[in-house]
Amino acid sequence: MKTDVLIIGGGPAGIVTAVTAKQNYPEKRIVVVRKEKKVVVSCGIPYIFGTLRDVEKNLIPDSVLTSKGIDILVDEIEDVDMEKKIAKSKSHGEIEFEKLVLATGSIPIKPPIKGIDGNNVFFVRKNPEYLQELMKRINESESIVIIGGGFIGVEFADELRKLGKKVSIVEMLPHVLSTSFDDEFCELAEEELRKIDVGLHTNSKVVEIKNGGVVLSTGEEIAGDIVIVCVGARPNIDLAEKMGLKVSKNGIVVDEYMRTSRPDTFAVGDCAEKRDFFTREVKPVMLASVATAEARIAGANLYKIKAFKQFKGTLGIFATKVGNIALGAAGLIERQAKKEGFDYVVGKSEVADKHPGTLPGTIKVRVKLLFTKQGGFFIGAQIAGGDTVGEMINLVGFAIESGYTAPRYMTLQIGTHPLLTPAPTAPATLKAAEDALIKICGNK
């Protein structure tokens, strides 16, 4: 078999690379090889269980590829000969190609806990049959323990409470969500979790998983008919290592155009190493939004380098919803900025997300922005509020990525509407920038 572009991996990174490549190079044949018969919406996984209640409702249809003339091969690539440009597949023999893209994703981390291999233990696998089985077991359970209080863990907890299950989260760090948010925002999330009766065990370590629950290092036991492990994932670099690509434990090493250490070979998504936008340090984020941003870069640059399509480092724009509030973060949080030695000021604001604030459904918006003390450059943002936080955080993300400073940011024009935004007299993020500017410059 012969193709022009071979993409290994059928998740968001593989799909967007394929679609972008087809848009940029319509005459090229593009084949996506993936192991799974069906592809789940990865970030939608928690919502299968409480809201959708059906794995089939959380699939990406093949038509996003096939309608554009991109071929799908359900198979596994076992090795690649980069000299000859031939991939060896399990079931379809050899595949010749011109350009190769690795979008092999990530593998859930299995912490070394006694009992972790028990059949009451589940991981967040992007596999419809596995998730089907998990759903069955969730439905049969009365109590569930979630190990790990990151995004996925917290979202799972929220969803499982909608089913009326008894839910506990065990998190080693002092707060849930604490790799992405400063304490005061983590505490807002924890308040919401408590409101919906999620059992929170922070600063806690599971030392054993038994039938019927987990044992903490303190000896305390927490009841759980099943245990869901949400402690993150590691890049799937097995094939890359076999191929002799340059890798680190954080993924396949890539440049600004998502090229690997070998010619004509690209890597995108969870399997590719990421560097922080500001610190240039390795940044272990695994987000579909980052994966697809990288994929848009790789897809465009496969045959011709497009100078404007560079990936300048990962900002890491997160959003989630816990109980009644949404939380978003972009760029650096204060804990990171402090640790990395940034000289920064914090600007804050608190406003209503609608105007007047007497409108039904009004939620308080809390904004915390970070700017460098010198120059006033925008380096980070955290927002908590209603459902519009998902787009508000993108708006500040744009400003951060664009190199905005506090004075320039606070004079930007915005639109407002009573039902849709904070008041024109209280533009949430602009007010926080103003607060920071006064701290930088004083009042004059």
Q: Please state the closest distance from residue 343 (CB atom) to a second copy, in A.
A: 21
By CB under 8 A, residue 314 contacts a second copy: yes
**Residue with Cβ nearer a second copy (243 or 258):** 258
* Distance in angstroms (rounded) separating the CA atoms of residues 83 and 60: 34
Kindly state the tokens that stand for 408. 């320039």
Q: How many CB atoms lie within 10 A of CB 55?
A: 21
Kindly state the tokens that stand for 97. 């190609």
* Distance in angstroms (rounded) separating the CA atoms of residues 136 and 11: 24
Q: In the window 384-443, what residues touch a second copy (CB under 8 A)? A: 387-395, 397-399, 401-402, 407-408, 410-421, 423-425, 427, 430, 434, 438, 443
**Residue with Cβ nearer a second copy (65 or 209):** 65
By CB under 8 A, residue 317 contacts a second copy: yes
Interior angle at CA 397, CA 393 and CA 398, nearest 5: 125
By CB under 8 A, residue 360 contacts a second copy: yes
**Residue with Cβ nearer a second copy (8 or 247):** 8
Under 8 Å between Cβ of 355 and 426: yes
- Using CB under 8 A, count the residues that bind a second copy: 87
**Residue with Cβ nearer a second copy (167 or 433):** 433
In sequence order, the β-bridge partners of residue 383 are 328, 367
Q: Please state the closest distance from residue 55 (CB atom) to a second copy, in A.
A: 11
By CB under 8 A, residue 15 contacts a second copy: yes
Residue with tokens 């987990």: 214
Q: Please state the closest distance from residue 281 (CB atom) to a second copy, in A.
A: 17
**Residue with Cβ nearer a second copy (374 or 413):** 413
Q: Please state the closest distance from residue 83 (CB atom) to a second copy, in A.
A: 29
Residue with tokens 């990406």: 60
Q: In the window 328-347, what residues touch a second copy (CB under 8 A)? A: 328, 330
Q: How many CB atoms lie within 10 A of CB 181?
A: 25
Q: In the window 39-68, what residues touch a second copy (CB under 8 A)? A: 41, 43-44, 47, 51-52, 57-60, 64
- What does the radius of gyration of the chain's CA atoms come to, in whole angstroms? 23
Q: Please state the closest distance from residue 438 (CB atom) to a second copy, in A.
A: 6
* Distance in angstroms (rounded) separating the CA atoms of residues 192 and 77: 44
Q: In the window 290-309, what residues touch a second copy (CB under 8 A)? A: 290-293, 296-297, 304, 306, 308-309
Q: What is the DSSP letter of 262?
A: S
Q: In the window 207-236, what residues touch a second copy (CB under 8 A)? A: none
Q: In the window 262-291, what residues touch a second copy (CB under 8 A)? A: 287-291
* Distance in angstroms (rounded) separating the CA atoms of residues 316 and 4: 32
Q: Is 311 helix (H, G, I), strand (E, B) or coil?
A: coil
